[in-house]
Structure 1
């Protein structure tokens, strides 16, 4: 598995040369949120599509 530093370097290589500090911060933020979501999914599990649709229908009707 790649180290955090290697992942950041890979991300930076994919960004355009004229990207701003804010662009880099945004991409790091998104990657962090994705990693957090995957960790939550691993520990707490995920909902099936039908369960999510049922919850949305309940919430939207109320």
Structure 2
């Protein structure tokens, strides 16, 4: 497993040289959300398809 510093170093190597601070922050944000999602899956904190549909109905007003 990579450290946070190693993940950032790898990300920076993959981004174009003309990336802005905003570009870098966005990519770091996405990486963090992906990591949190993977942690949730590994800890069994998931929702089934039918539960997700019910939750969306509340948002969409159906």
Scaled by the length of structure 1, the TM-score of the pair is: 0.72
Structure with greater proportional helix content = 1
Which blocks of at least 5 consecutive residues in structure 1 are unaligned?
A: none
Distance 1:48 1:3 in 2: 31
The 10-residue stretch of structure 1 (7-16 or 36-45) with the greater mean CA deviation from structure 2:
36-45
- Higher relative contact order, structure no. (Cα contacts within 8 Å, ≥ 6 residues apart): 1
Give the match for residue 11 of structure 1: 11
Which blocks of at least 5 consecutive residues in structure 2 are unaligned?
A: none
How big is the shift at 1:25?
A: 1.2
Aligned pairs for 1:1-62 (under 5 A) are 1-43=1-43, 45-57=45-57, 59=58, 60-61=61-62
Corresponding residue pairs, total:
60
